[in-house]
Amino acid sequence: MTIETVGVVGAGAMGNGIAQTFAMAGFPVVMQDLSDAALARGRATIEKSLERLVKRDKIATDAAEAALGRLETATDPGALAGRDLVVEAIVEKFEVKAGLLGKLDDICGEATIFATNTSSISLTRLAAASSRPGRVIGMHFFNPVPLMQLVEIIRALQTEDAVCDAITELTRAVGKTPRVSKDSYGFVVNRVLAPMINEAINCVYEGLASPEDVDEMMKLGANHPMGPLSLGDLIGLDVVLNIMETLYGGFDDPKYRPSPLLKQMVDAGYLGRKSGRGFFRYG
């Protein structure tokens, strides 16, 4: 099972980072999105990221140019035909992702592997929406993709061993570290991380300490590089709430109950860095 060509669906925060990662590792990539404007934004983000890497001496100028040369963009999903692997990073809605998988079944050849970057949807349910469930797998990249080392590989119940092996090997080939998880709510990273952030929010909610002090305590006492509230602001508090709701609803266990303060922050529009204000202020 050889993977030589890649398609990425979605040119947003994750999609453009995933496309950049494959292009930098030498794979011809076509990045597909619904509009030219979304593709232009995605390409501009990749160009800026490559420029930064050159400035910091992480890659040579000609390597950055070569990576850009391997990147095509398209609004027509037909451009994904003939790709060995298609990774989707579109909106986090089951119906939309399932619809896309159905469409890809018609566009792509029998051997194509379909990977999804979903952060919370059941891989097994998604695989069931494809006519080739054995070839569906989760490739969960982390934000910002060019900098983050891990790819959490999620096996649906139906995923074939050979597909899992090929994706594990490919992850290493693009310079990332693969770790495999079975399909479950939140997989591994978010299952551990989101409740920790939620608990830090509860500490603030209950008046135990200020946001600054909670973060400082976790940095100095647990050796975390960033405090949990700053991390929640970075991820987006709406995203954290979404993950907690997935865990709470999925496991039906009160230990995953979202903090009332987390809900209020989201209701107030204090979503973190992206809205200029979360537990801290930005910009």
Name the residues that contact ligand NAI, by CB under 6 A.
9-15, 32-34, 38, 89-92, 96, 100, 117-119, 142-143
Catalytic residue among 122, 130, 140, 259: 140
Q: In the complex, what is the shortest distance from the CB of residue 271 to ligand NAI, in angstroms, rounded to a whole number?
A: 12
CA–CA distance, 153 with 139 (Å, rounded to integer):
5
DSSP conformation letters of 32-90: E-S-HHHHHHHHHHHHHHHHHHHHTTSS-HHHHHHHHHTEEEESSGGGGTT-SEEEE--
Greatest C-alpha distance within the chain: 57
Omega within 30 of 0 (cis) for the link into 144: yes
Instruction: Let me know if 152 is a catalytic residue.
Output: yes
Clarify whether 224 is annotated catalytic. Answer: no
The answer to whether 182 is annotated as binding is no
What is the chain's percent helix, strand, coil content, to nearest 5? 50, 15, 35
Assigned token pair, 208 = 């135990």
Cβ distance to ligand NAI smaller for residue 99 or 260: 99
DSSP state of 135: G
Q: Of 203 and 271, which has the nearer Cβ to ligand NAI? A: 271
143 is in an annotated binding site: yes
Is 274 annotated to bind ligand? yes
| Residue whose beta carbon is closest to ligand NAI | 12
Instruction: Work out how close the CB of 230 gets to ligand NAI at its nearest, in angstroms, rounded to a whole number.
Output: 15
Q: Please say if 130 is a catalytic residue.
A: no
Q: Is 140 known to be catalytic?
A: yes
Please tell me what DSSP assigns to residue 260.
H
Closer CB to ligand NAI, 143 or 168, in the complex: 143
Q: What is the SS3 assignment for 189? A: helix
Contact indicator for 205, 259 with CB cutoff of 8 Å: yes
Nearest CB to ligand NAI, comparing residues 115 and 203: 115
50 vs 194 by CB, closer to ligand NAI: 194
- Which residue in the list 49, 117, 120, 152 is annotated as catalytic? 152
∠ CA 113-110-134, nearest 5°, is 50
Q: How far is the CB of 84 from ligand NAI (least distance, A)?
A: 19
Single out the catalytic residue among 190, 198, 242, 275.
190
49 is in an annotated binding site: no
Question: Considering the complex, what minimum distance in angstroms separates the CB of residue 99 from ligand NAI?
Answer: 7
The continuous run of DSSP H or E covering 155 comes out as: strand 150-155
The binding site for NAD(+) comprises: 10-15, 33, 92, 97, 119, 143, 274
Residue list for the binding site: 10-15, 33, 92, 97, 119, 143, 274
Catalytic residues: 119, 140, 152, 190
